[in-house]
Chains A and B, each alone.
Chain A
Amino acid sequence: MSITINGSPAGLPDDPRVSLLDFLRDRLHLSGTKKGCDQGACGACTVLVDGDRILSCLALAVQYDGREVVTVEGLADGSGLHPLQQAFIDHDGFQCGYCTPGQICSAIGMAAEAKRGVPSHVSDDLTADVTLTREELQERMSGNLCRCGAYNGIIDAIAQSLLAETAA
């Protein structure tokens, strides 16, 4: 059994009780992914699996045999920052920073969903192309809580990064 983490293969734990979150943090020492509630209520543990955002606390590592996981450590190309990481700095998209890795991974997954045309709870027309208004961004990011309340900066950062992507 093996899994790919940020492009590198890793052996899965023998004990099936190990969550993907604990596997990343405690066994692979990738502590960027954070443990908030450990019960699927906060989004701090969000990672990307085959490009889709999921909660690593509600995942058993063994369920993800053969899959490709990307964590916040795997986003930047080389020593620089991922554009979304820079945008979070530019817009004060955090105070304590604990929810930030989950916010950033979630936003990347969110952008891919929108590009595929996945509608949201606030989409007026279920069949129309997705336009990521501020209201859409807020709804689509609602699975990531920020106890510092940096939500305005978070949404500004994501909006800037999406705008830059569209312009590029």
Chain B
Amino acid sequence: MTPFTYARASDAAEALRLATDNGAAYLGGGTNLVDLMRETVAAPDRLIDVSNLSRAIEPTASGGLLIGAAAKNTALAAHPAIRTRYPVLARAILAGASAQIRNMATVGGNLLQRTRCAYFYDTDGSRCNKRDPGSGCDARDGLNRIHAVLGASSACVATHPSDMCVALAALDTVVHLQGRDGARSLPFTDLHRLPGDHPQFDTVLEPGELITAIELPPLAVATNSAYRKVRDRASYAFALVSVAAALKIEDGAITDVRIAFGGVAHKPWRALTAEAALRGGPATIPAFDDAANAELAQATPLRDNAFKIELVRRTLVAVLGDLSGATA
């Protein structure tokens, strides 16, 4: 590891004061950043430990939930309100990593974890525009079975690795930030960006800007929600593809729906096209199929990952089938 200094902030204001230089990085649980530093993919000269920020999970005036950025993944998945009102979020968290890692990982850190593209990690021999802007992308024509099929660019085909974030994208979550110029809030789906020509930026965060909390809105549709993850082994593996979905049906018609995909893009992929195709229509397998196809019309496979398009289509149809009780 490259040498660095370490300081622990007691709150967000102190964290911002300590992180005035752009070589500083915020440290949550460390489950990704410590590894990136050991591999010299990341080399901050100063670590600001933000694990003392709020870890509270508390109701909001509007009937939603405010979740402090330092809340542990385990605590969030186990929270009674998450389990009953937002089961897709509990399921997504429990599908990710291992229990040991979920005990360490914070909400803020989970949002900011970086891709597991092997070329991004390979500092010795691989070109990667995300790690070394302008150097090229060895994944585009390399071993790209796990890479993106939606929203990729010629500069980068990496995927976002989080499970939790897929559920958050589906749930209309809001992210609360504090920066050098004050506080602001963003729709969660605007936090992460597509790679374009600047894949070195995973998010729209400004230098020094800190995630202080996320907020779940009251969302009736979320009580009937699910997360399904498809991976190479049954546990403790990243997603090949995943689907987070919530569905409300009245008198046979879909009155509300939320869908997001994981493992297919540079960011958690909110499937707005599929949602629009479903809303107001029948809750039937052919309708689910049509909606999936509408969303995936824009999908572009690489050499090794065309299977993902069919896999995510089938996974969405299966999840919506389970949530609706519809059978083929």
Contacts and interface: CB of A to CB of B under 8 A. Distances in A.
Interface of A: 15-17, 19, 38-40, 43, 46, 52-55, 58-60, 62-63, 65, 106, 109-110, 113, 116-121, 123, 126-127, 138-140, 142-144
A58 B104 contact: yes
Nearest to B97: A143
B27 interface: yes
What 10 A-B pairs have minimum CB-CB distances, sorted nearest first? A143-B98, A142-B235, A16-B6, A126-B83, A118-B78, A142-B236, A17-B1, A121-B94, A52-B103, A55-B100
Contacts of A120: 94, 99
Contact of B104 (A55, A110, A144): A55
Contact of A143 (B47, B49, B91, B99): B99
Given A43-B100, A119-B77, A58 B6 contact: no
B98 A43 contact: yes
A52 B74 CA distance: 10
A152 to B, nearest CB: 16
A104 to B, nearest CB: 13
A40 B102 CA distance: 12
A119 B90 CA distance: 9
Given A39-B35, A118-B77, A59 B4 contact: no
A109 B1 CA distance: 30
Given A16-B6, A39-B38, A117 B104 contact: no
Contacts of B6: 16, 60, 62
B100 A19 contact: no
Contacts of A17: 1, 3-4
Nearest to A138: B235
A117 B97 CA distance: 19
B5 interface: yes
B101 interface: yes
Nearest to B35: A39
A94 to B, nearest CB: 19
B87 interface: yes
Contacts of A144: 98
